[in-house]
Every structure is written in structure tokens, then in C-alpha cells.
Amino acid sequence: MPGFLIRLFVTALALGIASAIVPGIQISGFWTLLGAAFLLGLANAIIRPILVILTLPITLLTLGLFLWVINAAMLGLVAAVMEDFTISGFFPAMLAALVVSLVSWMASWYVGPAGRIEVYTAQGR
């Protein structure tokens, strides 16, 4: 359970940063931010794998760059479901998907596969 909450807050942080940086992305309120993070996690767990398999040929042709479009589509889907989360177009969704991916990637350096924060120490000899 703590791992789920850590990943939820990391995704919420990423969405908050994206809404602050990217013009055209608006999230009103903390609870909307948490709800959007939760729904984005559900969409990435359930719908995204199906889309990745269905679009595999185009993903291979674009050398994986079409996954960026799929990430933007997942953000658009969450924005379509939530009332207080708006995305004003395709390009803001693409830029927001990039920001969310980068923030999540940087946070994954500190959060292990089990969802726990990991600290590595080096001992000199």
C-alpha cells in the first residue's frame, strides 16, 4: 500500500508540474490532481497496454516515438473524464506527456520496483 501511495503522489506531482509549465493544461484543486493521477494510473494499467499492442506496427516504424502519442492520448482520456482537468489541444497534451514522463522517470531513480524509496550507500575500503 505505501508503494501505491508513493507512485500516486509522484504522478500527482508530475501532473502538477505539467500544469504549471505547459500552457493549455489546467487542473483546479488538489483533489482533482489526486483524482487525475489515480485515473491516469488506471488508464496506463488497463488501456495503454492494449493500445501499445494494437499500434505496434506504427510504433516500430516510428522507432518508438508513437508511444509518446499514446501517453498524450491517456492524458486526453483522463481530461475527458474529469470535469476540472482540461487540456486545450493535441500539442499541449504531447508536451504534458513529455513532462509527466520525465518527472516520473526522475522519481523512479529513488523509488524501487516495490514502490519503496531506496537509498544506496557506498562504503570505501
Residue 88: other Cβ atoms inside 10 A: 13
The pLDDT of residue 117: 64
- Domain boundaries defined on the chain: 2-108
pLDDT, tens only, 102-113: 998 888 777 766
Given a contact cutoff of 8 angstroms between Cβ atoms, the answer to whether 52 and 59 are in contact is yes
| CA 73 to chain CA mean position, Å | 11
Given a contact cutoff of 8 angstroms between Cβ atoms, the answer to whether 116 and 2 are in contact is yes
Degrees to nearest 5, angle at CA 73 with 47 and 60: 80
pLDDT, tens only, 43-84: 999 999 999 999 999 999 999 999 999 999 999 999 999 999
The grid cell for 61 is 516504424
